[in-house]
Amino acid sequence: MRRWLFARRVSISTAVALAMTSCGGGEKGPPPLRQNSMSYSFVIKPDDSPPHARQDIHYVIQVFDKKTRQPIENGIGQLFAGKPIDDAAPTGPQSKTWDGMEYGPDVGAYKAKLNFVVAGQWAVAIRFQRDSLHPLERIDWMQDVYDERPDTTKAASSQPAAKTP
């Protein structure tokens, strides 16, 4: 009987410790998006997801060789997105944003920044190649973008200045 009570207390204590660790530990921010192309595995980590319109969203993109799981160093890539201006004409004019992927400082990690100008659903993609001798590969996903956040600095600056005697 005592062994059973001891085992039960230990298992409950372990479960509570694991629950507390999982709640408070780990990285902050949204979970990463994982995608694969023919040769590469991508781990895409935005600083805010879903993003808000007219706000810079910084991405860290880790690129690995799909077969060996080794990080790809000094590759060439671009992060880009587009949204049709008129949803009734998806092949018509688009709002677009893009940025080249800058390598570093971590091995296999690249940085890029996008600014979505309007809210709605955007088509986002990455073009990447290891070097000029390897083919350019592309991955795509859809991204919801929220309305822009209200600017709190405008409210403060629109107040008339206090008169000084």
pLDDT value, residue 119: 93
- Phi, psi dihedral angles at 10 (to 5 degrees): -65, -45
**pLDDT category of residue 70 using cuts at 50, 70 and 90:** very high
From start to end of the chain, where are the E strands?
A: 33-36, 40-46, 56-65, 76-84, 94-100, 102-103, 109-115, 120-129, 137-145
Q: Is the pLDDT of residue 21 over 60?
A: no
Inter-CA distances, 20 with 15, 17, 25, 110, 116, Å: 9, 5, 8, 32, 36
Q: Which domains does the chain show, CATH number per domain?
A: 28-148 (2.60.40.1930)
3-state secondary structure of 15: helix
pLDDT value, residue 89: 76
- Phi, psi dihedral angles at 86 (to 5 degrees): -115, 115
**pLDDT category of residue 158 using cuts at 50, 70 and 90:** low
| pTM score above 0.75 | no
Greater model confidence, 120 or 16: 120
